[in-house]
């Protein structure tokens, strides 16, 4: 049978863009459909605009720290409207850049929503199009639990488009999105309250990272309310009144912006998966008001239950990171169009948390290592110190570094850090961990002095 295209990609985010360009480079006739700005979550309402806000939020602390080095800095004032405008301009510039890359690669772009009609047919822009293979890369979307008053809340999508600077931001959620925005908004001068359902933020991270980041946030002036859930939100003359429940006790908090950072779910609604016979798998989000969401079920080659339909990125809910979506997309294109069948490895993937303090990690946490190997085989190396930079600023900032080692093989199983430049430092350490370096290899490496990073090769 003859098809209109060799590959139809639904979703022009990180995974879809990477896959479409790679497939086209092998000579495939490729089209990609997107009904939003090209670039996906990362470019439009995720990594890039968030990181720009992170940079902006650091200046007040830098102004303060400068005094410790003899600089006299005058009164500083944030122009909120200007910050939001220039971030939006940069987002749109990058989106157009990705369109240019598609054109250069020979990928056709249809700026419209696409829906599956059957395993080889897609309805897009008012017409039916056929393709030999279809790739679904529509990503995820913010999730709001079913709690009274949710209509007054916003998600991370809207945080980049606030017209005026909030005075008091209340954030519900203990994951990386809620934690990062708590630090961003505090740095930009807002009062911030973060509500978490358990004792510590960042479930799934190493315990030392969770503890150090939460302590640092508290020192930063963020109020973290632990072991508490929100029962309802209502509009009052003073703003938004939130009723909080902790066991049998209740309290209220009033803010002017309520950010629901209660997770993201695969963006499968309206895709027509049922028309193509594509299986989904449930992923239950625990807690009051949470429901069950579905992700597209795929095998190690990102292949769905329909042999010619594939899915990559957050819509599969495997490991929701931009570089992972890109890697999955390229592995798919290599396998299906490049005569180089391969699997993208989800092992030993580094990741960072752009909070204040910053954190980054690669490999196994201490708890994961103990569960996998047993307590006797796990050796921990840990260092906590005051960075040289802050010896003159008077700030209480601390840096924590940690190595998780298999005592039988001496192999470094995991590396974790909290402190300034954690992401930049862990990126380099990740190469060693991925290659299977031992603690002796770390010890034999000469440190760059004076630097924080040298601590990873001097810990004893």
Q: Provide the annotated active-site residues.
A: 449
Q: In angstroms, rounded to a whole number, what is the distance separating the alpha carbons of residues 112 and 129?
A: 13
Secondary element (H or E) of residue 368: helix 366-373
CA angle, 226 as apex, 224 and 229 as ends, to 5°? Answer: 110
Q: List, in order, residues 6 or more apart from 435 with CB less than 8 Å away.
A: none
Helix, strand, coil: what percent of the chain each, to 5?
A: 35, 25, 35
Handedness of CA 16, 22, 26, 27 (dihedral sign): positive
Alpha-carbon distances of 426 from 168, 181, 352, 432, rounded to whole Å: 33, 22, 8, 10
Secondary element (H or E) of residue 194: strand 191-195
Do residues 56 and 185 lie in contact, with contact meaning Cβ atoms separated by under 8 Å? no
What is the three-class DSSP state of 235? strand
Helix axes of 59-66 and 176-187: crossing angle, nearest 10 degrees:
50
Candidates 47, 44, 55, 52; CA nearest to 87 is 52
Instruction: Give the count of beta carbons closer than 10 Å to the beta carbon of residue 328.
Output: 29
Q: In angstroms, rounded to a whole number, what is the distance separating the alpha carbons of residues 285 and 17?
A: 29
Cα within 13 Å of Cα(126), Cβ side: 0
Q: List, in order, residues 6 or more apart from 347 with CB less than 8 Å away.
A: none
CA angle, 419 as apex, 413 and 423 as ends, to 5°? Answer: 60
Give, as one character, the DSSP assignment of residue 303. Answer: B
Secondary element (H or E) of residue 8: strand 5-10
Q: In angstroms, rounded to a whole number, what is the distance separating the alpha carbons of residues 84 and 157?
A: 13
Distance of CA 266 to the CA centre of its chain: 14
Q: In angstroms, rounded to a whole number, what is the distance separating the alpha carbons of residues 253 and 368?
A: 37
Secondary element (H or E) of residue 284: strand 280-284
Q: In angstroms, rounded to a whole number, what is the distance separating the alpha carbons of residues 217 and 223?
A: 8
Do residues 138 and 315 lie in contact, with contact meaning Cβ atoms separated by under 8 Å? yes
């Amino acid at each position: 049978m003859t098809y209109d295209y060799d590959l139809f990609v639904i979703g022009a985010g990180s995974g879809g863009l990477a896959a479409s360009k790679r497939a086209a480079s092998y000579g495939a006739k490729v089209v990609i459909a997107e009904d939003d700005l090209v670039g996906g979550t990362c470019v439009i309402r995720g990594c890039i605009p968030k990181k720009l806000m992170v940079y902006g939020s650091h200046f007040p602390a830098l102004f303060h720290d400068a005094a410790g080095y003899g600089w006299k800095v005058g009164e500083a004032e944030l122009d909120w409207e200007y910050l939001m405008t220039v971030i939006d301009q940069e987002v749109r510039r990058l989106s157009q850049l990705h369109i240019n890359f598609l054109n250069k690669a020979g990928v056709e772009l249809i700026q419209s929503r696409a829906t599956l009609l059957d395993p080889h047919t897609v309805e897009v822009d008012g017409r039916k199009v056929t393709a030999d293979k279809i790739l679904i890369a529509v990503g995820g979307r913010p999730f709001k639990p079913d709690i009274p008053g949710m209509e007054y809340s916003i998600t991370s999508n809207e945080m980049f488009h606030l017209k005026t600077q909030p005075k008091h931001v209340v954030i519900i959620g203990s994951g990386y999105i809620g934690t990062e925005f708590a630090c961003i908004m505090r740095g930009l001068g807002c009062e911030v309250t973060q509500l978490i359902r358990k004792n510590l933020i960042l479930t799934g991270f190493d315990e030392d990272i969770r503890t150090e980041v939460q302590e640092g946030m508290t020192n930063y002036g963020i109020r973290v309310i632990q072991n508490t859930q929100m029962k309802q939100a209502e509009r009052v003359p003073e703003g938004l009144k939130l009723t909080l429940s902790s066991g049998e006790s209740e309290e209220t908090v009033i803010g002017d912006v309520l950010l629901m950072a209660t997770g993201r779910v695969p963006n499968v609604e309206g895709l027509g998966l049922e028309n193509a016979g594509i299986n989904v798998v449930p992923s239950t989000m625990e807690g009051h008001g949470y429901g069950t969401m579905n992700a597209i079920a795929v095998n190690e080659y990102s292949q769905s239950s329909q042999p010619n339909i594939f899915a990559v990125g957050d819509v599969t809910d495997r490991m929701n990171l931009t570089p992972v979506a890109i890697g999955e997309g390229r592995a798919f294109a290599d396998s299906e169009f490049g005569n180089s069948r391969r699997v993208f490895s989800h092992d030993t993937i580094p990741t960072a948390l752009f909070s204040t303090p910053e954190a980054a990690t690669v490999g196994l946490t201490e708890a994961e290592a103990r569960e996998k190997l047993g307590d006797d085989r796990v050796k921990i190396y840990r260092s906590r110190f005051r960075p040289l930079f802050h010896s003159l600023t008077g700030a209480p900032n601390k840096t924590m570094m940690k190595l998780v080692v298999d005592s039988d093989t001496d192999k470094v199983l995991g590396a974790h850090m909290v402190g300034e430049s954690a992401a930049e430092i862990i990126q380099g350490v990740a190469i060693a961990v991925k290659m299977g370096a031992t603690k002796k290899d770390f010890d034999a490496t000469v440190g760059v002095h004076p630097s924080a990073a040298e601590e990873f090769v001097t810990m004893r």
